[in-house]
Amino acid sequence: MTDWIMFHDHIHPSETHLHGLSKVLVHHTTAYQTLLIGESPYFGKILIIDGDVQSAQADEYRYHEALVQPALTMHPNPKKVYLAGGGEGATLREILRHPSVTSVLKCDIDAEAIKLYKTWLPEWHQGSFDDPRVRLFHEDARLHLNSQPDGSFDVILTDLTEPFENGPSKALFSKEFFDLCHRKLNHDGILAIQASQLTNQHHTMHGAIRHTLLQSFPIVRSYSAYVGSFDTMWAFILATKQVDPRAYTKEVIDTTIESRGLSSVLRYYDGETHRHLFSQEKDIRCFLNSPSYPVIEDQSVFLLSRKD
């Protein structure tokens, strides 16, 4: 039998996904998180943060295209983009695929982690950190975004760890932060965020995030994609001031992708996928319409972990 290092990705006290790692490349604790980069015979390189699988070489493109491409494709002319988080650089990679983008401000508080990603995860970032359109900041994303002029961004993206109670990212999922995003977006601006799991058994945290966004934006749409290395449907939310992603036809999305020279580059997202992403099953729609609690920065809120 192969002598693998077994990593337990806990879904529930009674449920565990086992990942067999053939090698550990990096195991390091920064001031903010514990990182493990290993090699999986099944998923290729795999990134684990604080005990949760964050990204895997075999399917990271599904997650990152789902997070980035709907917002960038829907915007008629995305030029200025703000990115909070997205440490590995793959979110940045997807943003930079759009030729109209002239500047990206990327703010990630953990400079030590970024240094490791640059070295160990080139398959993810593909040199995106060195693109001249990118300016990288290592500070609190809320304070940094607040220092930018109002109405200055076409798209804001957040790719952050989930808002666990007392966790470092909770303030960046709060009503206060989403109000800030609303102010910093221009009149046709779009916000897209990663927003935890969305399944019939795991939807509490997503519901809280969605309910919070509804207090800041007039149009808020949940969507989800299956990510095999997570072994679940992973959810995102797109919030806008005036455009509805469900109004975009397959033909419009495909035409935009073609006009921007992305048809041969994108592996997951196209017009048909767009329709699928924003079409939820009946039970999920019921959960999304259920009452929830907003995330308020200075108040306690019952938010379960990723494996809620």
Token pair of 186, please? 């221009």
- Average pLDDT value over all residues in the chain: 90
Token pair of 230, please? 């997570």
CB 72 within 8 A of CB 96: no
Using pLDDT thresholds of 50, 70 and 90, give the confidence band for residue 305: very low
Residue 271 has what DSSP assignment? H
| pLDDT(294) > 90 | no
Number of residues that this document lists for the chain: 308
Over range 58-79, report the average pLDDT. 97
The 10s digit of each residue's pLDDT in 268-291 is 999 999 999 999 999 999 888 877
Q: What percent of the chain has pLDDT over 90?
A: 74
In whole angstroms, give the CA distance from residue 37 to residue 121: 9
Q: Annotated catalytic, 131?
A: no
The 10s digit of each residue's pLDDT in 130-145 is 999 999 999 999 999 9
Q: What is the 3-state secondary structure (H, E, C) of 60-90?
A: HHHHHHHHHHHHHHHCCCCCEEEEEECCCCH
Domains of the chain in sequence order: 5-56 (2.30.140.10), 60-288 (3.40.50.150)
Query: Order of strands across the sheet with 23-29?
Result: 23-29, 34-40, 44-49, 52-56
CB 187 within 8 A of CB 220: no
* 44-69 residues labelled b (16+ CB within 10 A) or e (exposed): ebbbbbeeebbbbbebbbbbbbbbbb
Given 159, 179, 231, 283, which residue is catalytic? 159
DSSP characters over 156-217: EEEE-----TT-TTGGGGSHHHHHHHHHHEEEEEEEEEEEEE-SSS--HHHHHHHHHHTTT-
Using pLDDT thresholds of 50, 70 and 90, give the confidence band for residue 168: low
Q: Other C-beta atoms within 10 Å of 269: how many?
A: 25
Using pLDDT thresholds of 50, 70 and 90, give the confidence band for residue 63: very high
pLDDT (0 to 100) of residue 300: 45
